[in-house]
Chain A
Amino acid sequence: MSTITPLIAAVQQAGSALELLRATAALAASGDSAAAPTLVEVLGFNNPGAAVAAVDGLIAIGTPAVEPLLQLDPRNYGARAWAVRALAGIGDVRGLDLLIEALRDDVGPSVRRAAAKGLGSLKLQALDADERAAIEQRCLEALLEGYRDGEWVVRYAVTVGLEGLALGGGWPDSHPPHGRACEALRQRSDHRHEDARVVRLRAELGLTRLLPC
């Protein structure tokens, strides 16, 4: 019997919201990949405190948590929203489609926000050059499209995502996607294109990081 069996049982038998929160936090802290399916289940329990703890645990588990997250029933909206946050934090490339879809279509600004940040922080180092370039291209297009979002916080997250994508890609200045990302940030730092001052300031910061002089 593994040491996490009682931790899993405690989550499944929790009789109150507070008990569930505590049991989930304990299971999440184990960092054991065998905890992943149970933590994914918690995402559907409609208990935000426990879901936050479960997301933290799933991100800590990382790669082994990706499959159970992708297998979530798409009709379970609440659980999917938390899954987007977990996948954004894990940065596994298998989450790409879900992140793109979430940024484009999700009704919750907090979900779109997490997806945008996640699209800028996928871990692509292990892939071969062609595959990597193709995925970076898809992330770039999705993020640029994300600037049409009506919520300032999503456009803020898109800005952070673009910066992360360009820095993480280690793109040379001559690489066309680098130019497009910089151009988008430049536009975003202009009050004629962006109402929210905080977004303009974040875009300026991104530019100084991408174009150090």
Chain B
Amino acid sequence: MQGPQRMAGEPISEAEALERLRQNDDPSMQYYGAWWLGRNRSQHPDAVPLLIEALRQRRPRAPGAGVEENAVARNAARALGKLAPAAHAAIAELLAALDDPDDGLREAAARALGELKARQAVAPLCRRLAPGPAVVGAQQPNNPRLVEPCEALLEALGEIGLADDTVRGVIEPFVNHERPLIRSAAARALLQLSDEPRWAEPLLALLRHEQLHVRRAALMDLGAAGYRPAVDAISTTLAENSLKLIALRGLVENGRGEPDDETLLVAMDALL
């Protein structure tokens, strides 16, 4: 197809992505434009201001449209997370989104604040989690989602990396949450925020969970935490080698100590 009205999904230029985000008539074009700028880590000076503008947009989910609530704002938040350091200008807006009534938008904002390593977000993230797993980790009525997007909030605290007793105290009770992905996220954050190997135990146990998606999550979390002693457990997990390689890359790049780099690289070679 030719001309400016190409289909979403076809390659577009940065200028066109910015234009799609700037216009206000078609939210699906804005949605795609926001995604494009994050995906391609746009350094254009207009990218962050336009994404901040898009982050303010609120739009209920159109019935039957197959599009999520506040889709443009959520995608803008996701994109901002990928645009450090320029996106530091967006931290105030992302913090505001952390208090939005839409839990999906709170989730996207939390992840972005984690990626931006925004220390200002630690207190509000802790406030969201402080009531504990029985309250904010409970399932919403008529909806499989939890009251708070706990996984994203926990992961953000781990990524930001403020190792503080208060923060760890807020996270700890979530290690016993009934959902394995929440346990995984909590253990990952505690491993990132302490030097205590005991927090690797729940993750190593989840590598042997009966469900593949749980094993995958535990792989990613061990990689993010860079927990090097997990190398053999990762290599022998029943999951795709592609994911094990990503996890082992995480051990190399995010971890330190024993086993040494060469041991990890040899383990990666065996999975190619």
Query: Contact residues of A with B, CB < 8 Å?
Result: 48, 109-110, 113-114, 116-117, 152-153, 156-157, 160, 196-198, 201-202, 205
Contact = CB atoms under 8 A, between A and B. Distances in A.
Interface string B40-83: 00000000000000000000000000000000000000000000
Interface string B237-255: 0001110011001001100
A197 B272 contact: no
18 contacts: A109-B242, A110-B240, A110-B242, A116-B272, A117-B272, A156-B268, A156-B272, A160-B272, A196-B249, A197-B252, A197-B253, A198-B249, A198-B252, A198-B268, A201-B261, A201-B265, A202-B268, A205-B262
A88 B261 CA distance: 26
Contacts of A116: 272
Nearest to A199: B249
A116 B241 CA distance: 15
Q: Which of B245, B261, B262: most chain A CB closer than 10 A? A: B245
Given A198-B252, A201-B252, A153 B245 contact: yes
B10 interface: no
Contacts of A198: 249, 252-253, 265, 268
Contacts of B246: 153
A130 B240 CA distance: 39
B270 to A, nearest CB: 10
B123 to A, nearest CB: 32
Interface residues of B, number: 14
Contacts of A114: 272
Interface of B: 240-242, 245-246, 249, 252-253, 261-262, 265, 268-269, 272
Nearest to A208: B262
A148 to B, nearest CB: 18
A134 to B, nearest CB: 25
A152 B245 CA distance: 11
Given A116-B272, A157-B272, A205-B262, 19 more contacts: A110-B240, A110-B241, A110-B242, A113-B272, A114-B272, A152-B249, A153-B246, A156-B245, A156-B268, A156-B272, A196-B249, A197-B253, A198-B252, A198-B253, A198-B265, A198-B268, A201-B252, A201-B265, A205-B265
Contacts of B269: 117, 160
A153 B242 contact: yes
Contacts of B241: 110
Nearest to B261: A201
B39 to A, nearest CB: 12
A205 B260 CA distance: 12
Q: Which of A117, A153, A160: most chain B CB closer than 10 A? A: A153
Q: Which 8 A-B pairs have the closest CB atoms?
A: A117-B272, A198-B249, A157-B272, A198-B252, A197-B253, A110-B242, A160-B269, A202-B265
A201 B248 CA distance: 13
Contacts of A201: 252, 261, 265
Contacts of B253: 197-198
A201 B262 CA distance: 9
B173 to A, nearest CB: 35
